[in-house]
Structure 1
Amino acid sequence: MAEIKATPTSTVQMDDGVNLQVKVFGEDSKSTKPLLIALHGAPGLSTLAEPESAFAFLSDIFRVLVFDSRGSGASDKTGPYTHDRWIKDIEILRKWAGAEKFVLAGGSYGGFIALDYAVLHGDKLSGLLLRDTWANGVVGMMTALASILTDDRLHVDVARQIRVWSGTLRDDKDYEDAIPEIIAIYAPPEEHMLKAPAKDNDEPTAFEGMDALAAFNSATQNAAFGVNMPRFDVRQQLKDIKAPTLVVVGRHDKITPVEFNQEIANGIPRSRLEIFEHSGHNPASDETEKYRQVTLDFLRTEVL
């Protein structure tokens, strides 16, 4: 696997003038490597640091492009915060990187956008990587909230968590106060936590948003869960996704449970499901070595 070196951040302007912060790992002067674009989760909270941690190790065989989506991290806080707009931004980045086809990766909320992209632009994909996600927004949101409200590890403000998952946050402070209440649910039970040290300095955290505590943007979260999620349902379109697809999920994920990921894998014709027995919401951090090997094996077998 490649040695991950410091990579500068680029500013890429979208067609509406919005600037996105982008990093590309594994870039070479001849641009001979295939492209992989990886999306972060947690709208208005997570940043490119999360997909960088999960996919930069592939930079010896891919150009790995990660970015702060509009409304998140260091990118402009300018909407609209819709799947259509976020998908258009991906298309612009694909062209900016000079790729006709590419591998798209997305975990958690990034998986929702990746699924919508695969439905709309499947001809552009040579592969699809999905991590801990769901195919139906309403059922997914209700399940996540129910899990939070019934988890004995958590002590939450019920009204505030309802605002998070219904997209009705009052302001950025409301968002900032809500996240620490629920961090524990994203990790596996203590008896399943693996204690092996990380291979790189940029290991992702159990909750992918905690690298961005200074970047709360409640407007992005409210749009994502108040407007986008009630409309998100790709269950009937899964059969139309032709790209080889890897679906990974933690056995102990209470936010996007195994059965949701099984539904996706059952629906996509060329798919493979991998369940990580010692993981919660993020196998890339909970079982790093296995996650990297599974991902690499899939890409070498199905894509390269």
Structure 2
Amino acid sequence: MIVEINGNPLDVELLGGDDPGKPLLIAHHGAPGLGSRREPSAAFGHLSDLFRVLVFDARGSGKSGDVPPFTHEQWAADIDALREWAGAETLVMAGGSYGGFLAMEYTIAHPHRVLALVLRDTAPDHTHEEAATANARASSRIQVDEDKLDRIMAGQIRDNDDFRDCWASILPLYDHEYDPASIQARVDSVDYHYATHNFAFAVNQHHYDVKPGLPSVSCPTLVTVGRSDWITPVECSETIAALIPDAQLVVFEKSGHSPPMEEPERFQQVVRDFLVTRVLDA
């Protein structure tokens, strides 16, 4: 459904019914300008028997509107407005990749709202970009197009057709097991918003660093990551888990950037066990 949030239409889906007795879980997708609610729905929709799971296309992504600004502050404000729209005082906050950036920023800004934090393949600051670029260039899987890699990482995409081409050129890097036959369908499934991506990568990332705030996170935290994640390598999640008191780190040995898709049964069990133990039974 389309919901007007802070002056911008967002495409929102609430899984698990409208039972106010169920805790709310909001899951934020990654890849601003590329991502959509399909990703967090696949990762966290299985929890709809226990939680009301709210997934959405963020401002400037998917089927949602493109009203700027595309800042972390605005995206975090949209999360809080969605919480209020759902009628919840508290929530479980989840996010993958760039969505993990926003999940951490929201948790640091609203500690009294967050019952638990679940992160997937994310980073605590922007220094992962250098490692990601090196990993892409060292890949034996593809011959990286240097111009496209540099422009997508720097937020210098020319238009949506260029965004599509640049995305297609690096998509083979993401999975633990490479399936060339799946690439075209994945490229075709995306709604492209190049201006959102450019602002996120050319402006937001240069200032992104939540490390100083992570030691103040007091809610139960689960940090998950794929062993062969090229863009937010394991070391990033290790840093997050080391900075957040009593955080639990789980590495998925047969996954790249998306354990929910590559090891779905184990990922779902790890997340479910964590939330049942640390939230529902606490």
TM-score (structure 2 length as normaliser): 0.94
Between the two proteins, the alignment pairs up a number of residues equal to 277
Structure 1 residue runs of 5 or longer lacking an equivalent are 1-9, 194-205
Q: Which amino acid aligns with 2:171?
A: I
2:49 maps to: 60
Q: The residue matched to 2:117 in structure 1 has which SS?
A: strand
2:218 maps to: 242
Q: The residue matched to 1:122 in structure 2 has which SS?
A: coil
Q: Which amino acid aligns with 2:32?
A: P
Supply the distance in 2 between the matched residues of 1:180 and 1:88 (Cα, whole angstroms). Answer: 31
Instruction: Select the residue among 28, 32, 37 that pairs with 1:48.
Output: 37
Supply the distance in 2 between the matched residues of 1:109 and 1:131 (Cα, whole angstroms). Answer: 9
Q: CA deviation at 1:211?
A: 7.3
Q: Is the 8 A contact 2:12 2:57 kept in 1?
A: yes
Once the two structures are superposed, residues 105-130 of structure 1 have per-residue CA deviations (whole angstroms, 9 ceiling, x without a partner) of 00001001111111111211000000
2:15 maps to: 25
Supply the distance in 2 between the matched residues of 1:214 and 1:255 (Cα, whole angstroms). Answer: 19
Q: CA deviation at 1:159?
A: 1.2
Q: Which amino acid aligns with 1:265?
A: A
Supply the distance in 1 between the matched residues of 2:8 and 2:248 (Cα, whole angstroms). Answer: 36
Supply the distance in 2 between the matched residues of 1:212 and 1:124 (Cα, whole angstroms). Answer: 37
Supply the distance in 2 between the matched residues of 1:284 and 1:24 (Cα, whole angstroms). Answer: 19
Q: CA deviation at 1:156?
A: 2.7
Q: Which amino acid aligns with 1:169?
A: I
Residue 165 in 1 paired to residue 141 in 2?
A: no
1:187 maps to: 175
Q: Is the 8 A contact 2:164 2:187 kept in 1?
A: no
Once the two structures are superposed, residues 243-277 of structure 1 have per-residue CA deviations (whole angstroms, 9 ceiling, x without a partner) of 11000001111111111101000000031000111
**Regions of 4+ moved over 6 Å:** none
Supply the distance in 2 between the matched residues of 1:212 and 1:27 (Cα, whole angstroms). Answer: 31
1:277 maps to: 253
Q: CA deviation at 1:212?
A: 6.6
Instruction: Select the residue among 95, 99, 115 that pairs with 1:110.
Output: 99
1:131 maps to: 120
Once the two structures are superposed, residues 1-47 of structure 1 have per-residue CA deviations (whole angstroms, 9 ceiling, x without a partner) of xxxxxxxxx211123x210000000013x421000000111111111
Supply the distance in 2 between the matched residues of 1:104 and 1:140 (Cα, whole angstroms). Answer: 23
2:203 maps to: 227
Of 151-160 and 118-127, deviating more is 151-160
| Percent identical residues | 45
CA change 1:169–1:50 in 2 (3 A) is same
1:149 maps to: 137
Q: Which amino acid aligns with 2:135?
A: S
Supply the distance in 2 between the matched residues of 1:60 and 1:211 (Cα, whole angstroms). Answer: 32
Supply the distance in 2 between the matched residues of 1:79 and 1:85 (Cα, whole angstroms). Answer: 9
Q: CA deviation at 1:301?
A: 0.8
Q: Is the 8 A contact 1:189 1:252 kept in 2?
A: no
Q: Which amino acid aligns with 1:144?
A: A
Q: Which amino acid aligns with 1:56?
A: G
Q: The residue matched to 1:242 in structure 2 has which SS?
A: coil
Q: CA RMSD in A?
A: 1.7
Q: Is the 8 A contact 2:9 2:64 kept in 1?
A: yes
Supply the distance in 1 between the matched residues of 2:16 and 2:125 (Cα, whole angstroms). Answer: 35
Q: Is the 8 A contact 1:44 1:220 kept in 2?
A: yes
Between structures 1 and 2, the one with greater helix share: 2
Q: The residue matched to 2:49 in structure 1 has which SS?
A: coil
Q: The residue matched to 1:184 in structure 2 has which SS?
A: helix
Q: Is the 8 A contact 1:38 1:106 kept in 2?
A: yes
